[in-house]
Amino acid sequence: MSTPAHSPERVASIQRRTVGVLSGAQVVGGLGAGAALSVGALLVRDVSGSSAWAGLATTMLTLGSALLALPLAALASARGRRPALATGWLLAAAGALVVVAGAQLDATWLILAGLFVVGANTATNLQSRYAATDLAQPLHVGRALSLVVWATTIGSVIGPNLTEVGARTADMLGIPDLAGPFAIAAVGFAATAVLTGLALVPDPLRVAKSLRPDVVDGVSTRPRMRDAWPVLRANAAARTGVVSVAGAHALMVAVMAMTPVHMADHGSSLTIIGLTISLHIAGMFALSPVMGILADRWGRGRTIVLGQALLLLATLVAGTAGESETRMIVGLTLLGLGWSASTIAGSSLIAQAVPTEMRPPVQGASDFVMSLGGALGGLLAGVIIAMWGFGPLNLVAAFLTVPAIRMVRAGRHHVARPGRLVP
């Protein structure tokens, strides 16, 4: 006897396959992202000759992520997750090749342009975590999302330690040493595009939409991207989620972007810098299932506040580290953990609070705000560190935790019960 197309058993089977495919894609894509992340600022600094310009590396990555999140979300809404994710990974691969060309030509503008397109990696990564929730049960939204985030750990932690491999790759290709990791990233991103395009079948978002009618009470449920903003204005829980992930991301990017430059200026080797970034990324991703369970069982709001507290502690430790590599490693690890708790709980809150048909536009808007905040954080970080130093940068960044904490406290009734959809 055949299983009905939309039976609970069939939907559960598709959900398990979706999480498995997305997790595998994150491993390969994370390898490329980690390799590029650890040397982007250093490459821009070496080519431009300015530490202030180095901050533009992360700014361009996050600005690219912000601006590309909207068309990728629109593509997902119109065609499904599979074409949107595959397109995003292909764009990131093309951007990495442009960075390599810019390094070879000693052209800062071309490197920055390439980094902008590489930002598609982050936009696609963010959309992947939401794709894992399309068919998830309400009580398991955080867990499904966090499992895909966790899968990024493997590639992202290994990636920053590929500086030596990247240098050898660069030597074989006849390109600058710091361009080698981007050559590795291009291969990783392209492989992820192929994996996603071939294996993410059936498309989870298309299945989720097929379970619901296209028209409810005479009103079309095929939204456009601009429909996201009225939803956010009217939905306090979703708005709290957006502020939480955006503030945490801006803080994290501002501090993390300047850490390699700060450590290099104090004589740290590329190996130690790579280790620091690896542990920071491990903090972002390795305990994400724990954060997902906390968000599901303990509460989205409480987990958001936990994340903000960890971010505050991170800025205190890193901002007072001085030349201590140990304190810097501890501070950056705490920074990753705070980002993880805030982002997973905030993203889970958005996925839970918004109806299925509106999720791609609202999630795309959230990713846009999140990445735009990161871009501004990276831009201002370069200016602040050039004028006042790394300690004051952390002090300024700490204030970014205030809006999320205040919104959670003001709307506790919206975020306290994970199993209930918020109107």
Ordered DSSP codes for 130-172? HHTTTT--GGGHHHHHHHHHHHHHHHHHHGGGGHHHHHHHHHH
Residue 397 in tokens: 């960044």
Give pLDDT, residue 1: 38
Q: Is residue 9 part of a domain?
A: no
* Closest among 128, 257, 242 to 189, alpha carbons compared: 128
Residue 220 has phi, psi (to 5 degrees) of -65, 140
Give pLDDT, residue 219: 39
**β-strand partners of 216:** 219
Give pLDDT, residue 34: 67
Give pLDDT, residue 49: 80
Q: Is residue 182 part of a domain?
A: yes
Residue 203 has phi, psi (to 5 degrees) of -70, 120
**β-strand partners of 215:** 220
Question: Where residue 301 sits, what CATH number does that domain have?
Answer: 1.20.1250.20
Give pLDDT, residue 423: 33
Radius of gyration over alpha carbons of the chain, in Å? 20
Encode pLDDT of 286-325 as tens digits. Answer: 899 999 999 999 999 999 999 999 999 999 999 998 888 8
Round to whole Å and give the CA distance between 362 and 346: 13
Residue 325 in tokens: 């590599």
Give pLDDT, residue 36: 67
Q: What angle do CA 229, 243, 411 make, to 5 degrees?
A: 95
Q: Is residue 216 part of a domain?
A: no
DSSP-assigned states of every residue in 234-272: H-HHHHHHHHHHHHHHHHHHHHHHHHHHHHHHTT--HHH
Which residues lie closer than 8 Å to 396 by C-beta, 6 or more apart? 254, 380, 384
Residue 221 in tokens: 């449920």
Residue 28 in tokens: 């390969």
Query: Which amino acid, one-letter code, is at 158?
Result: I
Count Cβ neighbours within 10 Å for each residue of 7-23 and write b for 16 or more, e otherwise: eeeebeebbebbbebbb
Residue 223 has phi, psi (to 5 degrees) of -75, 160
Q: Is residue 281 part of a domain?
A: yes
Q: Is residue 3 part of a domain?
A: no
Q: Is residue 212 part of a domain?
A: no
Encode pLDDT of 22-71 as tens digits. Answer: 998 888 777 767 666 668 878 888 888 877 677 678 778 878 888 899 99
**β-strand partners of 220:** 215
Give pLDDT, residue 226: 80
Residue 327 in tokens: 């304190």
The answer to whether residues 179 and 160 touch, using CB atoms and an 8 Å cutoff, is no
Give pLDDT, residue 421: 41
Round to whole Å and give the CA distance between 96 and 166: 13
The answer to whether residues 72 and 84 touch, using CB atoms and an 8 Å cutoff, is yes
Give pLDDT, residue 249: 93
For the chain, 423 residues long, give each residue's pLDDT as a single digit of tens: 344 557 888 898 999 999 999 998 888 777 767 666 668 878 888 888 877 677 678 778 878 888 899 999 999 988 999 999 999 999 999 999 999 999 999 999 999 999 999 989 989 988 998 999 999 888 888 889 998 988 877 766 676 666 677 778 888 889 988 888 899 889 889 999 999 999 999 999 999 888 865 444 333 456 677 888 888 988 999 999 999 999 999 999 899 888 888 888 887 887 888 788 878 988 888 899 999 999 999 999 999 999 999 999 999 999 998 888 899 999 999 999 999 999 999 999 998 888 877 888 999 999 999 888 887 887 788 888 888 889 999 999 999 999 999 999 887 645 545 544 433
Round to whole Å and give the CA distance between 341 and 306: 7
- 79 lies in which domain range? 14-202+228-415
Q: Is residue 187 part of a domain?
A: yes
Give pLDDT, residue 314: 97
Give pLDDT, residue 347: 93
* Closest among 235, 274, 269 to 366, alpha carbons compared: 235
Residue 305 in tokens: 């506040």
Residue 412 in tokens: 């506790």
Round to whole Å and give the CA distance between 23 and 217: 38
Round to whole Å and give the CA distance between 122 and 253: 12
Q: Is residue 211 part of a domain?
A: no
Domain count, the chain: 1
